[in-house]
Amino acid sequence: LVGQALHLAAAGCDVVAPSDMMDGRVGAIRRALEGHGHTQVMIMSYAAKYASCLYGPFREAVGSLGRLKGDKRTYQMDPANAREALRQVQQDISEGADMVMVKPGMAYLDVIRQVRDRFDIPLTAYQVSGEYAMLRLGAEQGLWDIESAMLESLTGLKRAGCDGILTYFALDAARVLG
């Protein structure tokens, strides 16, 4: 990951976002970036990445659902544990993270709020494929209007404390919000 971050920085990226959940990764990347003169490259840490079934549609789309080896729950966070997220965010900030992410977002609004209340750092959420799929499928079944559901879900993430949201709805939201 350090090598990849250096290649991306040399190519001109503004932000690197390691999503691996390994302890110490932010510090190692920060030291390497600064050691190679890339002091303006920011690190967005996937600090609170929960073991979630909501990643399923993405894994299915890329064909990895049945081929995954091992269990991601061994390194992703327990969905029942909010305190671990706060500890991980603190660790990543102390190692040099410029911003942090909570993933997925909608089921973890309480975690987003706790991170926002405790840390003065840009905070993002990733509205993952399963969250997107739930809203799309509900609209296809006539349960709700997709634009209303999309905006309500994004507003909830923003209201919980997010400064930014990564979402499969990005183009739709930009069109609706103009």
pTM: 0.88
The residue with tokens 């729950």 is 73
**Residue 60 CB neighbours (<10 A):** 13
What are the b/e assignments for 34-46, b being 16+ CB within 10 Å? Answer: eeeebeebbbbbb
pLDDT of residue 51: 86
Q: What is the pLDDT of residue 19?
A: 81
pLDDT at 52: 85
Q: Quick check: is 49 catalytic?
A: yes
- pLDDT for the residue 22: 80
Catalytic entry in 69, 72, 103, 158? 103
Question: Is the Cβ–Cβ distance between 149 and 135 less than 8 Å?
Answer: yes
Residue 158 is a catalytic residue:
no
Residue of 49, 69, 72, 158 with catalytic role: 49
Model confidence pLDDT, tens digit, residues 5-38: 999 999 999 999 988 768 899 999 999 999 999 9
Domain ranges of the chain: 46-177
Which residues of the chain are under the pLDDT cut of 70?
21, 55-75
- Which alpha helices (H) appear in 36-145, and where do they start and end? 56-61, 83-95, 109-118, 129-140
> Residue 53 has what pLDDT?
79
Task: Look at residue 28 in the predicted model and tell me its pLDDT.
Answer: 97
46-177 maps to which CATH number? 3.20.20.70
**Please, which residues have CB within 8 angstroms of residue 114's CB and are 6 or more apart in sequence?**
82, 85, 86
